[in-house]
Amino acid sequence: MKKLLAFLSLAALGFAYQDCAMCHNGGMAKKLDNMTPAEIVKKMKEFKAGKGNPMMVNIAKGMSDKEIEEAAKKYGKK
């Protein structure tokens, strides 16, 4: 059972990274398109260091620096 829960947690984190806008531009969390890519990267690095919302801390810890930069460019203010 523990292995199944661990797998599902990892799958959920991967899905969350693939579609940040699902929560962030869907009204459940701060809109990312109001933030510059640099602001998103800075905030994600804070999350990765363990500061802030536990859900975002887990998502950030599962992302590489390159993935964070790519997401910031994709979802940040144009």
Distance CA 35, CA 2 (A): 37
- What predicted TM-score, i.e. pTM, was given to this entire model? 0.74
What are the structural domain ranges in the chain? Answer: 2-75
Confidence at residue 50, expressed as pLDDT on a 0 to 100 scale: 97
CATH of domain 2-75: 1.10.760
The pair of three-digit structure tokens given for residue 44, joined into one six-digit string:
């994600």
Confidence at residue 8, expressed as pLDDT on a 0 to 100 scale: 46
The radius of gyration of the chain's CA atoms, rounded to the nearest angstrom, is: 13
Per-residue model confidence as pLDDT tens for the chain (78 residues): 656 445 445 555 555 556 787 888 777 788 998 999 999 999 999 999 999 999 899 999 989 999 999 999 999 998
Q: How far is CA 51 from the centre of its chain?
A: 13
Confidence at residue 17, expressed as pLDDT on a 0 to 100 scale: 55
Closest CA to 63 of 52, 42, 39, 47: 47
